Amino acid sequence: MPAWLGVPLLLAWRLLDLLVPKRRDHWAFFDHPLKPGQFIENARAVFEQVKDDPRVHCRVFVRGGQRPLDVSEHAHVRVLRLDSPRGLWALARCGVLLLTNSTALDMSLAWRNGGYAAPRPWLRRRVTVNLWHGIPLKRLFALANPDQRQHGDRDRHRRRERRFYTGLVASSTIDAHAMAAIFHPLPPTNVWVTGLPRNDFLRIAEDALPAGLRDELARVRALRGRRRLVLYAPTYRDASVAAERSYRFSDDEVVQLRQVLQRHGAVLGLRSHYLVNGPAALDPVRHLDGEVLLDLGHAQFQEIAPLLRESALVITDYSSVYIDALYLGLPVLGFAYDLEHYRTRQNGLLYDLDLAFPGPMTTTFAALLAALDAVLAQPQYHPDERYLTARRLFFQHLDADNSRRVVQRIHAAVAANHPA
């Protein structure tokens, strides 16, 4: 859409949104803000909980014409292009908004000149719930280091809208305190300790998973065969430091890594962050052979749940993927080669890793290799008290009912607020 037409259209839509009555049984879901056409994570888990509920009309909004392949439309489910008159009208009617990041990202529309903008819905007239995608280990938004905070809050509307969230999901009491501070000026009482809906995908029966996740589970199972899977998932680094601070394994280090893995009947799968700002840890041409070193990136696997369900060990630096691993009782191993720089010059950490990370935290390749060798040599992993303490820090619930609890809170909020 050209900007000269899109901007006036969004201004007109804001007036329309002020005037149109809201349907509190119409719930708006959005595809991933940075992975068009992928309807995943917490939003997908909540959708799966209510898609057959006659009390709820699900409206799944996508952009750019890319539709999720495994979402079936029926009387209570519609997939709509947000960048269309029909989609914008349907959004104006929705009385419940289920965000995955913010309105600025979840509803972002691209212009032909390379710019973008988003509808600005009237949140006071709705129940608006932020289904934030994970448990933050890093400092974000209001708690970020000064440079990152200024960059993250450059959109004033994004900062102001937090005060109007009816709910923000959290995983534990401690996590709720962190989320309330990160999302300031959100009222702390509006943080819901329900657990994260997407963690249901870690524990529910395989045949209860959405079809797309069952397919991904079968594919990763075929890749690992009878071998144990070591999942390596380094976190995102800001573009200003990614080129110099991303770790790249040398050819000699890759040879040593393969030897350890093969000795223990294991394979390693690399899952880089979907925001790629620097070189990959393992060269996709020279190192990822599809036999011992696997590409488990976002182009092949949309969700992390199938990978974690098939993993025997998780390696990361500062990604909260290791916290997801705790949900399953998997051993975790840290490779924080730039720990001091990350603490002081990059995002920074919310927690002392001695408390929050219950596995070996290495800073050199030699130490990483030795720790990997030691963990894989164990015939069976038994969580110790330090591990259990970290798990209690992050999880109040260790079941497959997180989505149900969120939906219950949404229904209660709708009944209390009566958006119109």
159: confidence class by pLDDT, cuts 50, 70, 90: confident
Asked whether the domain spanning 214-394 has the same topology as the one spanning 3-201+400-417, the reply is yes
Contact 271, 304 (CB under 8 A): yes
| Residues 265-277 as b or e (16 or more Cβ within 10 Å = b) | ebbbbbbbbeeee
In the block, residue with structure tokens 């709708």: 414
Please state whether the predicted TM-score (pTM) of the whole model is above 0.85: yes
**pLDDT given for residue 112 in this prediction:** 67
Work out the average pLDDT over 93-116.
89
Work out the average pLDDT over 138-154.
64
Partners of 169 in the beta sheet?
192
- CATH numeric code, 3-201+400-417: 3.40.50.11820
**pLDDT given for residue 420 in this prediction:** 42
Work out the average pLDDT over 247-268.
96
Half-sphere exposure (Cβ direction) of 300: Cα atoms closer than 13 Å: 16
**pLDDT given for residue 294 in this prediction:** 97
Work out the average pLDDT over 234-253.
76
Rounded CA separation 2/173 (Å): 46
Query: Which of 349, 45, 385, 354 is closest to 196 using CA atoms?
Result: 45
Rounded CA separation 180/160 (Å): 14
- CATH numeric code, 214-394: 3.40.50.12580
**pLDDT given for residue 155 in this prediction:** 61
Q: Dmax of the chain from CA atoms?
A: 67
Rounded CA separation 380/39 (Å): 36
Work out the average pLDDT over 262-287.
87
Which SS3 state, helix, strand or coil, does residue 239 take?
helix
Rounded CA separation 181/187 (Å): 9
Q: What percent of the chain has pLDDT over 70?
A: 90
**pLDDT given for residue 318 in this prediction:** 87
Work out the average pLDDT over 84-112.
93
Q: Parallel, antiparallel, or unpaired: how do β-strands 116-117 and 109-110 relate?
A: antiparallel
Map out the domains of the chain as residue ranges: 3-201+400-417, 214-394
